[in-house]
Amino acid sequence: MTLQRRQFGFNALAVLGAALVPSGLPAFAKSGFEVLLAQNAPAKLNPAPYLISEKLDGVRAVWDGTSLRFRSGRPIVAPAWFIAGLPSTALDGELWIGRGKFDQVSAAVRKTQPVDAQWQQITYMVFELPQGEGVFADRAQRLKLIVQGLNLAHVQAVEQFRLPNQAVLQARLNSVTAAGGEGLMLHQSQALYTTGRSDALLKLKPVQDAEAQVVGYTPGRGKYDGMLGALQVKTEAGLRFNLGTGLSDELRKTPPPLGSTVTYSYRDITPSGKPRFASFLRVADEP
């Protein structure tokens, strides 16, 4: 099969197999900013030790006290009015428009020239004080007071609440997802501030998700002849598999570059450790 490089934006040699992937690829992509990342919640979880919030389908954004950045550390070009009233205190949160509107907010915040009309729809939903002192319950209360003091309509503290048992937790999850939400986040109320992927923070969704690094490409066949068939990806634990389900025709023509991080959904894990029914969701916040 002859692949025409002009058809899409990746090196055609790369689709011939992982053996042709440059050996100098960086390790699994890590954020430029050390932030807390969630683990998937186990089955039959007791929610009592946690503060719980809705999982927002937005773009992760860290305010470092002077500038707004993706978790990769790359600056987010926001309008001057959007960041003018933000504090010198560092904040962590999501740029969010509403349930089911990730593509809309993602397109807005990645522009090199911000469009005011788009940013007017965005709210900075903050949920953490990076490197803050005390346990999360204390930090959440302090964060709420900071946001109240800002008195900015486009900056809101994410609501944190408690639930008494697993049955009520499941009922709340069902209610949120039925209304178009993604799921729930559970943060151990007595956890000190930490970074990296940790069970101090859990995500609870009907379908689980995870991240992997793009390490190669598989050529398409049939109707995808001349395009990408699947992404070859590697998880943080070093597991490799092909990810083809969920890719749009646009992504098959212009795939994420080698080394970028993608998010995929899955139902459960096979005996060999691979995700079952893995499906591409999106390119992660920033490669």
Supply the residues annotated as catalytic. Answer: 55
Q: Which two tokens stand for residue 45?
A: 């979880």
CA dist list (Å): 205 to 136, 209, 227: 22, 8, 32
Strands (DSSP E) contained in 59-207 are 59-63, 68-69, 91-96, 123-128, 155-157, 183-188, 196-204
Which contiguous run of DSSP H or E holds residue 175?
A: helix 166-178
- 218-233 exposure pattern, b = at least 16 Cβ within 10 A, e = fewer: bbbeeebebbbbbbbb
**Measured between alpha carbons, how far is 271 from 47 in angstroms, rounded to an integer?**
28
- Reference 121, options 103, 148, 134; nearest CA is 103
With H, G, I as helix, E, B as strand and everything else as coil, classify residue 15.
Answer: helix
What SS3 class is residue 152?
coil
DSSP state of 234: E
Phi, psi of 49 (to 5 degrees): -80, 5
